């Protein structure tokens, strides 16, 4: 079975969680968590590095022991150390860790105090009122746990977009090499850049006699073939992801791509529009009577309906068809529109590379400026900077800028917004910075009113520039905190500050709907990588997908501006 980075990262994350349940050495736990993040966000496939006999210890944070485990997972698909850990704990304990809001410490408490080992037992304990009696929980925590576990038990498993991308790319490469294949594309929610993906819909144009179906069924990643015929197949991968394959003739490929990309609501609206014109629209084309008048390309389908081509990310029936009819579709942002990145870390806090290494990696990505924004002192686990260390880094940035060519480093900080809305560093420490990125990293359970007012007070600080990951969510892991986003957006406009779209695949925060609110209110958004290593600038592409879902054009972005214009905007803010 081909092993992807996501598989290795999942194994290391599971090891860290199980070790934490066992209360193992914190440094050992942290090593596995760091390795999971590094591998999960690595632009290169570890499998390919192993095949080329590259030295895995050259990766940041990867020593000989972790490298050996990575090679073992690539070679065998298993990790003996993980198997041993699993054998030492109840078999279903790992399932509890998948319930949002339950970390290893809480799982350990529930297991030892209430003998809870499965999600079903957890739900029963919450309904019986037994959780609230535990130290550190309470009635509110119990209610939240019950809600989370019920949602967990009721919904199908979804993968983060970045994880699904690893499997999608691998399958597209293999199927493209099949005999008689002309085109291969992944459609569905993946093509619409949804932040999570339930399954993969792969559409293929192929000549008669192609062996693509047989090649698909024979893929090492396939665990179970659900159905297989000459034009359709379905399978479940060993990762648990379901893949549906459809083969169509070239003359109908565009119509099929439209059909299998758009949301159900978007497709219904298109069919209604076709009916108004006396036409019939389906996955095989646009028909007038029995004559197919369009279908070989998506553009031909939309033209037959009197519309310009609509970008996949917009196909959710949220006004895109009316905008297309009125000629008001935006020219959506593309990766090449970004001039810089305003949120990145180095080894001075919890990053893995030096200032110079991060600068050169940003330049290689095509950026012309990069803001270095270490954590502030409150995040001691991330080695956050105090005023003295921040001043030293500013001096180091000034010296490095004198030697750099084609990239400029900006001086910044990711400063904690404290519970009362004050900032974690004094005004004097922030005064010499180009920008101040404010972030909520604690007290996620405040009421909607308190959380909103907390952030509003922080935004009123005269040095405040940009609100980082504005809702604090971690996809499939931590829900967003309760906050009045419309008030935040409007206050940002009044105050003259900006909002971040954090492109990290675990966050993708702002949501698409909040991006649209910012656009409508005229508040600029900055798509930032939150990179902690050189490889993580590749995450910007996921932020672009989210921005496109939110209808953002280059003019709606702060970091699409050239450096001189950016500096004017930052100065005006201050």
pLDDT of 281 reads 96
Mean pLDDT of the 197-208 span: 94
For residue 357, which of 125, 124, 533, 156 has the smallest C-alpha distance? 533
pTM, whole model, 2 decimals? 0.82
Most confidently predicted of 95-99, 156-160, 338-342: 338-342
pLDDT of 93 reads 82
pLDDT at 148 over 70: yes
Read off the pLDDT of residues 519-531 as tens digits, 9 standing for 90 and up: 999 999 999 999 9
Alpha helix stretches (DSSP H) within 183-291? 188-191, 212-217, 253-261, 264-276
Angle at 547 (CA atoms; ends 500, 352), nearest 5 degrees:
50
pLDDT more than 70, % of the chain: 99
Which are the contacts of 18, defined by CB distance < 8 A and separation ≥ 6? 82, 85, 86, 88, 89, 93, 94, 104
447 burial (CB, 10 Å; 0-12 / 13-18 / 19+) is: exposed
Is residue 145 within 8 A of residue 119, CB to CB? The reply is no
pLDDT of 512 reads 95
pLDDT of 155 reads 66
Is residue 199 within 8 A of residue 231, CB to CB? The reply is no
Q: Residue 1: pLDDT band by 50, 70, 90 thresholds?
A: low
Mean pLDDT of the 219-247 span: 89
Long-range contacts for 73-77 (Cβ within 8 Å, ≥24 apart)? Answer: 73/3, 73/7, 73/8, 73/11, 74/3, 74/8, 74/46, 74/47, 74/50, 75/50, 77/1, 77/3, 77/7
pLDDT at 35 over 80: yes
Q: How many CB atoms lie within 10 A of CB 228?
A: 14
121 burial (CB, 10 Å; 0-12 / 13-18 / 19+) is: middle
Return d(Cα 273, Cα 280) in angstroms, integer: 9
Q: Residue 46: pLDDT band by 50, 70, 90 thresholds?
A: very high
pLDDT at 156 over 70: no
pLDDT at 171 over 80: yes
Read off the pLDDT of residues 492-510 as tens digits, 9 standing for 90 and up: 999 999 999 999 999 999 9
pLDDT at 327 over 90: yes
pLDDT of 484 reads 94
Which residue in the block uniquely carries the two structure tokens 């806090």?
349
Mean pLDDT of the 316-338 span: 96
Q: Residue 98: pLDDT band by 50, 70, 90 thresholds?
A: confident
Q: How many CB atoms lie within 10 A of CB 204?
A: 25
To the nearest whole number, what is the mean pLDDT of the chain?
A: 93
pLDDT of 488 reads 97
Distances 321 to 262, 272, 301, 315, 430 between C-alpha atoms, Å: 12, 11, 13, 9, 46
What 3-state DSSP class applies to 241? coil
* Structural domains of the chain ordered from first start: 5-154 (1.10.150.110), 159-248 (3.30.460.10), 265-325 (3.30.210.10), 335-573 (3.20.20.140)
pLDDT at 91 over 80: no
Long-range contacts for 318-323 (Cβ within 8 Å, ≥24 apart)? Answer: 318/516, 320/266, 321/266, 321/269, 321/270, 321/273
pLDDT more than 90, % of the chain: 78
Return d(Cα 376, Cα 307) in angstroms, integer: 50
For residue 391, which of 425, 351, 440 has the smallest C-alpha distance? 425
Mean pLDDT of the 5-21 span: 92
129: which 2 tokens?
Answer: 């009122």
Read off the pLDDT of residues 283-306 as tens digits, 9 standing for 90 and up: 999 999 999 999 999 999 999 999
Among 77-86, 280-289, 341-350, where is mean pLDDT lowest?
A: 77-86
What 3-state DSSP class applies to 557? strand
pLDDT of 26 reads 92
Distances 202 to 4, 172, 234, 262 between C-alpha atoms, Å: 19, 8, 10, 14
475: which 2 tokens?
Answer: 């996809």
């Amino acid at each position: 079975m081909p092993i992807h980075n996501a598989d290795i990262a999942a194994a290391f994350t599971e090891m860290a969680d199980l070790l934490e349940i066992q209360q193992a050495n914190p440094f050992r736990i942290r090593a596995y968590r760091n390795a999971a993040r590094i591998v999960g966000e690595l632009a290169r496939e570890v499998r390919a590095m192993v095949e080329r006999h590259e030295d895995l210890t050259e990766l940041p944070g990867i020593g000989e022991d972790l490298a050996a485990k990575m090679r073992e997972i690539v070679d065998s698909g298993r990790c003996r150390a993980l198997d041993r850990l699993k054998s030492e704990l109840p078999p279903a304990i790992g399932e509890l860790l998948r319930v949002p809001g339950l970390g290893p410490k809480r799982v350990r408490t529930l297991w030892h105090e209430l003998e809870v080992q499965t999600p079903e037992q957890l739900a029963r304990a919450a309904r019986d009122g037994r959780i609230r009696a535990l130290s550190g929980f309470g009635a509110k925590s119990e209610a939240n746990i019950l809600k989370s576990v019920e949602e967990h038990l009721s919904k199908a498993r979804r993968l983060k977009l970045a994880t699904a991308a690893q499997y999608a790319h691998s399958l597209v490469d293999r199927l493209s090499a099949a005999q008689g294949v002309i085109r291969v594309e992944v459609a569905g929610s993946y093509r619409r850049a949804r932040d999570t993906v339930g399954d993969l819909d792969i559409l293929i144009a192929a000549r008669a006699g192609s062996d693509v179906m047989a090649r698909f069924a024979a893929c090492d990643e396939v665990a179970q073939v659900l159905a297989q015929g000459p034009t359709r197949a379905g399978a479940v991968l060993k990762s648990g992801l379901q893949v549906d394959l459809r083969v169509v003739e070239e003359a109908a490929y565009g119509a099929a791509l439209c059909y299998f990309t758009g949301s159900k609501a978007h497709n219904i609206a298109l069919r209604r529009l076709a009916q108004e014109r006396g036409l019939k629209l389906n996955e095989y084309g646009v028909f007038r009577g029995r004559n197919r008048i369009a279908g070989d390309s998506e553009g031909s389908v939309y033209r037959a309906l009197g519309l310009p081509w609509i970008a996949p990310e917009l196909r959710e029936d949220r006004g895109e068809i009316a905008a297309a009819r009125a000629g008001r579709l935006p020219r959506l942002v593309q990766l090449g529109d970004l001039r810089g990145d305003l949120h990145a870390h180095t080894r001075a806090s919890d990053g893995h590379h030096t200032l110079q290494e991060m600068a050169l990696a940003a330049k290689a990505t095509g950026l012309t400026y990069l803001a270095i924004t270490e954590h502030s002192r409150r995040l001691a686990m991330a080695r956050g900077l105090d005023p003295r260390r921040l001043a030293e880094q500013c001096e180091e940035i000034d010296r490095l800028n004198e030697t750099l060519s084609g990239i400029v480093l900006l001086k910044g900080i990711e400063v904690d917004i404290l519970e009362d809305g004050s900032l974690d560093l004094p005004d004097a420490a922030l005064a010499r910075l180009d920008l101040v990125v404010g972030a909520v990293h604690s007290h996620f359970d405040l009421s909607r009113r308190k959380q909103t007012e907390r952030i509003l007070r922080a935004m009123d600080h005269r040095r405040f520039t940009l609100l980082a990951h504005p809702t604090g969510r971690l996809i499939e892991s931590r829900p967003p905190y309760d906050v009045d986003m419309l008030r935040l957006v409007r206050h940002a406009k009044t105050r003259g500050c900006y909002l971040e779209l954090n492109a990290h695949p675990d966050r993708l925060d702002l949501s698409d709907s909040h991006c649209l609110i910012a656009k409508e209110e005229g508040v600029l958004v900055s798509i930032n990588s939150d990179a902690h290593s050189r490889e993580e600038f590749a995450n910007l592409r996921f932020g672009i997908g989210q921005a496109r879902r939110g209808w953002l054009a280059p003019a709606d972005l702060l970091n699409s501006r050239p450096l001189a214009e950016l500096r004017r905007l930052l100065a005006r803010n201050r």
